[in-house]
Amino acid sequence: MDSPAANAAFAKQINIKFPLLSDMNRKMLTTYGILKTYDVKGDTYQWALRANIVIDKDGIIRHIEGGDSAVDPNTAVSICTDLHKKQSTK
């Protein structure tokens, strides 16, 4: 699992302008139901399901996808853009 330090090095490397968050204790992943458990030869491992989640200003989930479909962020990005446009016209 990446630590904040590893994330900081990466953010600097590619000049990222948004926060990179670490869920070191997996609390958020558990709450969101995106922690995946693998049993490999009797040992259990857990890591996150890949996911894209869009949450609006009211804290309501507007889009959620996990697994292979979440590899492509375009759906989530277009939902964000639409959401922003709708809010701007209100």
Partner 1 sequence: MKRLLAVCLLLAMSSVLKPAPAEPQNKEKEEVAKMSLKVGDKAPDFNLLSDEWKPVKLSDYYGKKNVFLAVYVLAFTGG
Question: Which residue's CB is nearer to partner 1, number 39 or number 89?
Answer: 39
Cβ-count burial 27-42 (b if 16+ within 10 Å, e if not): eebeebebbeeeeeee
**Six-digit token string for 76:** 């989530």
Q: Which residues contact 29 (CB under 8 A, 6 or more apart)?
A: 23, 35, 48
- Residue 36 sits in the site that holds partner 1 (CB under 8 A): yes
- Residue 77 sits in the site that holds partner 1 (CB under 8 A): yes
Among 15, 59, 74, 90, binds partner 1 (CB under 8 A): 59
- Residue 69 sits in the site that holds partner 1 (CB under 8 A): no
- Residue 1 sits in the site that holds partner 1 (CB under 8 A): yes
